[in-house]
Each structure stands twice: as C-alpha cells, then as structure tokens.
Chain A
Amino acid sequence: MYDMGKKPLGFIRNKLNKSNVILSLTILFVILVIVVGLVIFRFNILKYNVPTDDKVYDKYYVMITDNYKSDFWQEIYKGAFEAAKEQNIYVDLLGDNLPTQYSCEQLMKIAIASKVDGIMVYANESDKMTELINEAEDEGIPVVTLYSDNTHSNRLSFVGVGSYNIGREYGKQILNIIKDKDQKSENTDSEAGDDVTNIAVLVNSSSEETGQNILISAIKDAIEQGGEDGDKFSFNIITIIDTNAFSVEESIRDIFLNSNDDIPDVIVCLNELNTVCTYQAVVDFTKVGETYILGYYDSDAIIREIEKGTVYATVGIDSKQLGEYCITALSDYYEFGNTSQYYTADVKLINQNNVASYKKEKEAQQDE
C-alpha cells in the first residue's frame, strides 16, 4: 500500500511546492508594487520639489544705469556678471525687476540703503550724484563710475572708453566722408568748391559729461589737423532732449523736419539709442547717401545697417571688458585697499571695409 502511495506523494509535494512558489511570488509582487509605487511617488514629489540651487555668494555688487534694457548695458552687465561669478560674487542690475523705473540717483539711494558690497554706477557730473557717491563711500561701499564719470566725487575708480581716441576716430571718418563727397561732386557737379560739410554732433541734454566734451574737441582737432585746404565745415552740437523715455526719437526727427535744406551731412551719434533713431530717421526721410551717420556701439542692428550702407561707421566698444574692469576695480579695492583710478576699454572702428571680418570674429566669440 505504501508503494502505491509513493507516486501520488511526489505529485502532492510538487503541487504543494508550486503553490508555495506562487504564494511567495505573489507576496513578493505585492511588496514590490508598494515599494515601486512609493519610489515613483517620492521621485514625483522630488521632481516638483527640486531644491533650487542655493548657491550662496560672498559679495553682492550692483550695477546702476538708466537704460538697463539696451544691448550695450546688457553686454556690460554680462561681462561684469561673468567676471564676478568666478570670484563668487553676484552682480545685480539694480532696478531691473522693480515695477517702477527709478533714476540713477534713486537707485543709488536704494543701493546704499541695501548695504551692497559695491556699486557700479553710470554717473554724471551732477552735485546730487557726487553727494550720493560720497555718501556711499562714507558707508564703506566702494563706488565705480561706469562709462560716464563724476570727477568731483570720492569714487573709487572710473571705467570707461577713451573719449579722445573715439573722437579722433570719428574725425578720421569725417575726413574720409568729405573726400568721398568731393569725389562725387567732382564727377557730377562742377561747382563743388563752395560745398560746406555740415557736421552735427548729437549730445544728450541730461548729461553734461566731460567725456562728451573731450570727444567733441577730439573730433575738431582731428578734422583741423587732417583736413585739406579748402574744406569747409560747419560744426554744430545738437542737444537731444532725453528727459523722458520717448523724447530722444522725437528730437532726432525734429532735426530732419525743421531744418529744411539744412540737414547735416554728417551726424555723429554718441550712444546706441541715438544711432538707432538717426538711421531710422535717415531711412524714413530718404536721406540715405546724403546724410552720413557715424554711429556708436556695435549692436547687431547697427552692424546690419553698416552692411547696408545706411550707417557709415560705428565705434565698437568692448562692453564686456567694461564690465570686467568694474569687477577688477572693486576686487582690487577689497584685496589691496586701492586700485587704478582709470580703466579704459578697447575701442574699434567698424565700417564697410572691415564689417565682414568683425562679424566673423564676433560670431566666433559667441560660439565660444
């Protein structure tokens, strides 16, 4: 009888083992589901709770300007920001994210009250600015004037462009323009001799900067020194009202509207916005070829206009370098207690001859 039972015994044992295996697998499966579910859930939650990279910086510098949206200032800011980041310093473009637009003076006040570690300010020569810069220095905050100086204040250092150099470059270009014009008139008109070249320099009303004055005198010097006999110039300074946001464009248009035949042959612009407004006005008033524009700054739009020929030449400023110099000045101050009074960024003249290579260079830089 036992022998008979042997075979089914094995069968039952098999079945028992099988059910044991199924049971263990099931329990394992349930546990697995719970664990996997929890893990997925955790990951999901974590995904939404990503703790933002709370990198803490040692110092906090602010950059103050009245036109933080322009390419020019954004470039400067970028240069400063990247240079600062390497030293674990954060640079803010103050006022960038505030609802109201504040003047440089107001922003200075905010910066002083915020006890920042360094200020880079697009200053002017006003007493108010001097006062604020001195106040900041009293509070122990080093101030670097950027692009435009306040010479009377106790500012740490000035970072800008060599206005005299720029002026001389402009002068050379004006001479070139006169040559071009002479050639043209010789070809077309016999009575070219009494042709007077009208040169207009656009100056902003709010800024009575020394830089501008230097620049203008440099232009004059260059023309007088390099000019041929018989060349006649009339040299005017046109003040552009920039008291409110849109007045610049209007005052530039006014030049074309009001002055009838007296439209300048050469317009020298001393900032980015003026350049843009001027070339647009020249295009709108169909004065291309008659009015030559000497622009300022090398934004993409201006470079494009040079390629087209609307703008005769422009001055490319290494704006990143400006920003970097600011940081260097401030860091030097913290490290050594003092720094150079002046920093001058490189300037490059761009006209139709070298615009292609300049563009290539710039692209190569950006690719880096």
Chain B
Amino acid sequence: MNRFLDKPLQYKIISICVLTNIIIFFVNIFLLLGINSMSVEMEMVYQDNRNLNELSASLTSVQDSMTEYLSAKTSDSLENYYKNAQRFLMLTDKLDDKITELSFGRMERNIKYMSQNYLDEVSQTIEAKRGRNVEKYRAYYENSTAMYEYINAYITSLNLELFVNNSKHYSELNTAFRHYEFISFIVITLVMAGNILIITSFVSTMIMPLRRLADSANEVAEGNFDTELPELTYNDEIGTVLNAFNKMVISIKQYIEKIRESMEKERYMQEKELMMESHLKDAQLKYLQAQINPHFLFNTLNAGAQLAMMEGADKTYEYVQTVADFFRYNVNGKKTEATIREEVTLVDNYIRILNVRFSGDIGYDKQVDERLLDVPMPNMILQPIVENAVNHGIREMGDKGKIILKVYREDNNVCISIFDNGKGVSAEDIEKIMSGNWQRKEHQYDNNGIGMDNVISRLRLYTESENSFSITSEGKDKGCEVIIRLPYDERH
C-alpha cells in the first residue's frame, strides 16, 4: 500500500482510474457472459422440437418416395427412396435408446426401434415390388404404412409433450432472465458505489497532505514560524513540495535567528563604545577640572623649561620638561586607546615628578618585557593606580616606600603588575574597591581626580572580562599588588 502511495501522483491517479475501469470491465464481462449463456440456452429450448420435426419430415419423405416407387416404379423415386432412407436412418441413429424415468426418453427409444423396424419393412416392400411379388409387397406395404402411422403418432405425441415441457422451460428461463436483469442492476449499482468509495478514499488520501501543507503555509504567512510542519507522507510530488516547504521554513527561521544575533552584537558593540567614551569623557572632565587650562599650563611650563635651560639649571629644566610631558599626555589624546609603552612612560614621568616633590623618597623599580610594550590598552589607567599606591600605600613611609612595576606575559595575557610595600589593604576594602562601593574621602588633595572605580570599569569594558583587574594584599604593612591582565593578541 505504502509502496503504491510512494509512486508519482500521475501514476497514482492513472492507476486508480484504470483499477476502477477494470473492475467495471470485468463485471460487465461477467454479466455479458451470463447474458450470452442464457441466450444460448433460450435458443436451444426448442431445439428438440426442431430435431423432431426434421425427423418427421424425413420419415414422411421416406414413406412418400416408397409410395411413389410402388405406384410408378420410376428409377428416380427409387433413388429418392435410398437417399431419404439413408437420411432417416442417420437421424434415427442419433436418437437415444436409454430407458429413463422421463417419458420423452422412452418415447425416443421406441421411435428409434420402430423406425428401424419401419425401414426394414419398407426395404422389404421395395424388394418385393422389385421381385414383382404382388401379394407380399402389398402385405409389407400395409405393415409399413401402419408402422409409419404409429411412428408419426409417437412423434406427434413426443413433440407435443416436448413442446409443453419446453414452453415451461422457456418461461422459466424468461423468469430467470428477469431475475438476472435485476441482479445485474444491483451488482452494477453496488460496484459503482464501491468504485466511488475507492476513488474518494484514494483521492482524499492523496490530497490530505496537500491540505495540511496549505494550512501550515497559511500559518507561516501569518508570521507563525513555530507552526507544526506538515509530516512528510509519501514520496510523490506532493511529498517533494512538502519537503521543500519544510526546508524553506526551517532555513527562514535559522536566517532570522542569525540576523537577530548579529544585530544584538552590533548593538552591544555600540553600547560598549559609548560607555568607553563616556567614561573617558568623565576622566578627562575630572582632569580638566583639576588643570584648568592644560594648554596654558603646558605652554607656561615649556616657557619655564626654556628659561631654566638658558640659565643653565639642568635639573630644573629636566624637571619642568617632565612635568610638561606629564600634562601633555592628557592634553594630546582625545583617543581612548594607548600602548603600554605610553602608559609606562607616563608612570615614569609621574614618579619622577613625585621624587622631585618629595626629594627622591620613592623607590621605583621597573621589570618590563620590551616586546610587550606595543600592546594596546586603555589610557589613563596605570597612572591613577600608581598614584593610589603612593597616596594610600607608601606616603608615610619616607624613603622606605618602594614601587615595582612589572610587565610580563602569562599564557595569553599581558600582565601589568604594580606592587607597593606600603600599608596594605584589608580584604574588606579590596572587596569594596572591586565592587565599586569604595567611598572616596571628600576633599582629598593631591589627586589627579580619576578614581579607581573609573579605572576598573574602563578596563572591564575594554577587555570584556571581570578578571582584568585584581588587587592582592597579604595583610597590614605587607604591601599591596594590583595586577592588570590584558588579552594578548599575537599580531601586536
């Protein structure tokens, strides 16, 4: 069944038409055969009577030709007699001599023997006539004529009985024929009904998946991509269309998903960019608030440096130049990104300035992997951390305070470590700083203005990682280490 349903649509439709037609054809053939057999039967009903009439006619012709010969003795009549006798003998030979329950059968038997007897008598008559035995041939003639009459009587009687019987048979056949007509009508009607059922069920079986396809196509058209997809039924044309439709719906869904994902990503990127910018702006704003006019200050410092050079005060020149460089870093870039090298240089400058300010109190040590200095990172990161370490860690330690800056590679990260051997930070404070809940003290002086929370959030935005910033401290007076982890891209 299913193998049939897997065949092409055209094949199926043709098959059904052919099947129903074949059924009707066979039914008709059977009905026709029935009609044929009945009509043959009807034709044969009176066959017995016809045969008997033939026999009777033949008998009469024998008798006639004999009489003719007896009266005229012509050779023609003799010849006729032989011919007729031969024919009559042939016909009587065909008669059945069985003794049966039926009176026809017994009459037939009697007719047969009487006819043979009659033929004997007739031939004896003829012989006697030829031998001119007048007395004998008269006697024979009388005998044979009597026999002729008896046979005729028998034939008539048999004919009549057969006719009555055959008429009965005929009318029975007629009734049968009427019944047959009725049965044929019923059979044809039932077969037609059956055919209609076959066609209906076949067609609905074929059309059902198409209808389901139409339903789900409508749903998809209304935007419901999650509608249940029509089940693949058979491998016909409809099955192919169904398959294609299902594939189409699935791939549309996947495509939509992709677009949605990429749009989300883009939006996220834009958001990130905006946040970076806004934080930088915030940092710059703070910075600008602190240094009212950096250009003015920078120019002023430059002028001071030149003055110091002209006066031959090299140290002063260097100091003023360092201060000028420190401030230029902020003034120069409106960009958010810098290299590690630039950041490290800024820290150097800052430490140098502080050392002049606090007369070389701070021990500054650098362990830098030169290969990593070109790795990009957000700007204004290291300096505030170092500033923090100086202000909160080693400010009150005098010349014992020490800061170690390390740049090294760790797996896929570039790590920047700023270590101070100052007061250390308690675990609670570390927790507060990391979660951005650190309450800055009011009126804090000597502060560049950029808070740790700003630094941390910018770093996290840039690296998209929570682990990019960490603080470790082993306890009170045991110092503190800040480690920044930047993703290392081999291309740099």
Q: Which residues of A contact B (CB under 8 A)?
A: 1, 4-5, 8-9, 12, 15-16, 19-20, 22-23, 26-27, 29-30, 33-34, 37-38, 40-41, 44-45, 47-49, 52-60, 90, 92, 97-100, 102, 106, 109-110, 112-116
Contact = CB atoms under 8 A, between A and B. Distances in A.
Contacts of B228: 4-5, 8
Contacts of B30: 34, 37-38
Nearest to A58: B99
Given A5-B229, A29-B194, A97 B157 contact: yes
B40 to A, nearest CB: 11
Complex A-B, nearest 4 residue pairs according to Cβ-Cβ distance, in ascending order: A30-B194, A37-B187, A113-B117, A114-B110
22 contacts: A1-B250, A5-B229, A12-B212, A12-B231, A26-B198, A26-B201, A34-B23, A37-B30, A40-B183, A48-B172, A48-B175, A52-B101, A52-B102, A58-B99, A90-B100, A99-B156, A106-B150, A109-B147, A113-B117, A113-B118, A114-B114, A116-B110
B195 interface: yes
A54 B201 contact: no
B110 A110 contact: yes
A15 B208 contact: yes
Given A48-B173, A48-B176, 17 more contacts: A1-B229, A12-B212, A19-B201, A19-B205, A20-B1, A23-B198, A30-B198, A34-B191, A38-B30, A41-B34, A44-B180, A59-B99, A92-B106, A98-B157, A109-B147, A112-B117, A113-B117
Contacts of B118: 113
Contact of B204 (A19, A58, A60): A19
Contact of A30 (B1, B179, B191): B191
Contacts of B146: 106, 109
Given A30-B191, A44-B183, A53-B101, A22 B197 contact: yes
A48 B231 contact: no
B114 A98 contact: no
B290 interface: no
Contacts of A41: 34, 180, 183
A56 B169 contact: no
B459 interface: no
A99 B101 contact: no
Interface of B: 1, 23, 26-27, 30, 34, 37-38, 41, 98-103, 105-107, 109-110, 113-114, 117-118, 146-147, 150, 153-154, 156-157, 160-161, 169, 172-173, 175-176, 179-180, 183-184, 186-187, 190-191, 194-195, 197-198, 201-202, 204-205, 208, 212, 226, 228-229, 231, 233, 250
Nearest to B190: A33
Contact of A56 (B100, B110, B198): B100
A89 to B, nearest CB: 8
Contacts of A29: 194, 197
Contact of B101 (A55, A109, A112, A114): A55
Contact of B194 (A15, A20, A33, A115): A33
Nearest to A115: B113
Contacts of A59: 99
Tell me the interface secondary structure of chain A in the complex.
helix
A56 B107 contact: no
Contacts of B179: 44
Given A57-B100, A113-B114, A34 B176 contact: no
A48 B99 contact: no
- Chain A CB within 10 Å, residue with most, of B118, B197, B204: B197
Given A55-B101, A60-B99, A44 B187 contact: no
A362 B173 CA distance: 43
Contacts of A115: 113, 117
A193 to B, nearest CB: 61
A116 B161 CA distance: 21
A37 B198 contact: no
A110 B190 contact: no
Contacts of A16: 205, 233
Given A40-B183, A48-B169, A33 B147 contact: no
Given A34-B187, A98-B157, A115-B113, A57 B99 contact: yes
A22 B201 contact: yes
Contact of A45 (B1, B37, B153): B37
Given A52-B101, A57-B100, A113 B153 contact: no
Given A8-B231, A90-B99, A44 B153 contact: no
A12 B233 contact: yes
Nearest to A55: B101
Contacts of B27: 34
B153 A56 contact: no
Given A34-B187, A54-B101, A100 B153 contact: yes
A60 B109 contact: yes
Contacts of B190: 30, 33, 37
Contacts of A56: 98-100
A122 to B, nearest CB: 19
Nearest to A38: B30
Contacts of A19: 201, 204-205, 208
Given A41-B34, A109-B146, A109-B150, A99 B195 contact: no
Contacts of B173: 48
Q: Which of B146, B154, B194 has the most CB of A within 10 A?
A: B194
Nearest to A17: B1
A5 B228 CA distance: 6
User: Which of A8, A27, A110 gathers the greatest number of chain B CB atoms within 10 Å?
Assistant: A110
A273 to B, nearest CB: 25
B198 A27 contact: yes
Contacts of A20: 1
Contacts of B150: 102, 106, 109-110, 113
A90 B183 contact: no
Given A34-B187, A99-B156, A113-B147, A60 B231 contact: no
A102 B151 CA distance: 13
B373 to A, nearest CB: 53
